[in-house]
Amino acid sequence: MQFALKKYQHAPAHLFLDEGYYFFTGAVYQKRRLLTTAKTKEIFIEYLFRFIEKYCWELFEWVVLDNHYHFLCKIAESLKMPIVINSLHKTTAFHIKKELNLQIKPFWYQYWDRCIRNDKHYFETATYILYNPIKHEYVDDLKDYPFSSFPIRYQQEKENLKANFLEYKPQYISYYDDIDDF
Ligand code: NI
């Protein structure tokens, strides 16, 4: 699966305040691991991209784990935020349940949004998302985890990626611990 991505620049324009950059986290109800297969994760990613495009949001980084997801994006209208996320949840729940031949309710538990305050916060969050498969002990090498924006970054912007990891040290970021306890 290939996706078009915004360039991950090392030195961003200083435009983040009031621009509607958000970090989103969503979790499966009771933290059940219902997205363990490649197919279920691909379903989630496919609809994430569709809804982002439909509502003219801009997606920067994302990761899908077995029972939760994170993504960083710029939203077009904050009033529509619950509509977009609820639509994403409803649609992905429908298709994933169909794929798994599962009838449960609710599927998703809830979501958390965090507004990005400045450039440093943006890059800490971006690297945090990319680092997530190691944080949750899925892999030792991020190149081995295909369900995030990391492989594309690595392929297209290896040097920026390395520099950002060194500068923003995602392995030491603890301020998302309360919403990323999986
Ligand atoms: Ni996580």
Residue 27 belongs to domain with CATH number: 3.30.70.1290
Q: Where are the alpha helices (DSSP H) in the chain?
A: 38-54, 81-100, 119-135, 150-156, 158-168
Cα(163)–Cα(85) distance, rounded to whole angstroms? 32
Cα 63 to ligand 1 centroid, rounded to whole Å: 8
Ligand 1 centroid from CA 100, angstroms:
22
Q: Give every strand in the sheet of 108-115, ordered side by side.
A: 58-64, 68-74, 21-28, 108-115
Cβ distance 86 to 111 under 8 Å? no
pLDDT at 19: 64
Q: Identify the pLDDT of residue 10.
A: 45
In a domain, 13, yes or no: no
Domain range spanning residue 36?
21-173
- How many whole angstroms separate alpha carbon 81 and alpha carbon 85? 6
Domain assignment present for residue 14? The answer is no
The rounded Å distance from CA 12 to ligand 1 centre is: 25
50's tokens: 């569709």
**64 alpha carbon – ligand 1 mean position (Å):** 8
Distance CA 119, CA 129 (A): 15
Q: Note down pLDDT in tens along the chain; length 182 residues.
A: 444 455 554 444 444 445 689 999 999 999 999 999 999 999 999 999 999 999 999 999 999 999 999 999 999 887 888 999 999 999 999 999 999 999 999 999 989 999 998 889 999 999 999 999 999 999 999 999 999 999 999 999 999 999 999 999 999 999 999 999 99
User: Domain count of the chain?
Assistant: 1
Residue 2 covered by a domain = no
pLDDT of residue 2: 44
Quote the distance between the C-alpha of residue 64 and its chain's center.
6
Distance 130 CA to ligand 1 centre (A): 10
